[in-house]
Amino acid sequence: MGDSCNCADAAVLAEAVLAEMVAIPPGSFLMGAPDSDQDAAANEKPRHRVLIARPFAMGRYPVTCDEYDLFCADTGRERPDDRGWGRERRPAIGVSWDDAVAYCLWLSQQTGRPFRLPTEAEWEYAARAGADTRYWWGNAIGQGNANCAGGGSRWDNRQTAPVGSFSPNPFGLYDTAGNVWEWVQDGWHDSYVGAPADGSEWHDACVGVGRVLRGGSWNSYPWGIRVSNRLRRDPDFRSVYLGLRLAQDL
């Protein structure tokens, strides 16, 4: 174990990860759920406008097992169990918030480029990709748009799907709805009262109250993969439903 893989795999990983970062343009959007959404919880309100003043980058896909396994091998961590579903291009699962932050730091060392988790506002802005509906594709779940319970795919409510198995949103991001919940940087707050309006991390008064996950997973009902839905878990919590996606300042 060391500070670097010192192997061809590290160079291949660096090239692959950098190639799959998608530039997200600046803009503004309404974050949270409207009062008309009967499935919305109080923690998704009040709806408020957020200005993303600078471009940033997001991973085209959630971090895959192939990518995460290199991190585990180099740092001496045990690889998360894939439950027999397969590794390679399936999203990494069983990843805690603490693990996700450590992965970002390790990847930054390998590539010489700073990686991090997205802020919650960045995540929702990128996942919406200009949409003001329950999902980036509209208000109805439809068929074949996402891996969730009732999404119409062969993976629904059974297991993860290989990343990129569904259409990307208009920003070119895959799997922002369903497949695996994705950790974001922010600490949990019970509502958006006092939330930053500039897309930055909201971390005040969050010690000991958990971190935020977004996007829903392969076993979520359609209401659970709405773009405004939020989940709270402790930073050391691991589950077969949880993964991560990278972000990067530009």
What CATH number does residue 121 fall under?
A: 3.90.1580.10
**Within a domain: residue 3?**
no
pLDDT, position 207:
57
Distance (Å, rounded) from C-alpha 166 to C-alpha 168? 7
**Within a domain: residue 1?**
no
**Within a domain: residue 78?**
yes
Distance (Å, rounded) from C-alpha 70 to C-alpha 76? 10
pLDDT, position 203:
79
pLDDT, position 16:
82
DSSP one-letter code for 222: G
**Within a domain: residue 2?**
no
| Residues whose CB is less than 8 angstroms from the CB of residue 155 and which lie 6 or more positions away in sequence, other chains included | 147, 161, 165, 218
pLDDT, position 209:
75
Q: Domain span at residue 84? A: 8-249
**Within a domain: residue 119?**
yes
The CA–CA distances, whole Å, from 214 to 29, 116, 229 equal 17, 16, 7
Interior angle at CA 85, CA 153 and CA 104, nearest 5: 100
**Within a domain: residue 166?**
yes
Bridge-partner residues for 243, per DSSP? 182
SS3 118: coil
Specify whether the CB–CB gap between 188 and 210 falls below 8 A.
yes
Q: Maximum distance among all alpha carbons in the chain?
A: 54
**Within a domain: residue 12?**
yes
**Within a domain: residue 139?**
yes
Distance (Å, rounded) from C-alpha 205 to C-alpha 208? 9
Per-residue pLDDT of the chain (250 residues), as tens digits, is: 444 455 566 667 777 888 899 999 999 999 999 999 999 999 999 999 999 999 999 999 999 999 999 999 999 999 999 999 999 899 999 999 999 999 999 999 988 899 999 999 999 999 999 999 999 999 999 999 999 999 999 999 999 999 999 999 999 999 999 999 999 999 999 999 999 999 999 976 555 679 999 999 999 999 999 999 999 999 999 999 999 999 999 9
pTM over 0.75: yes
Domain count, the chain: 1
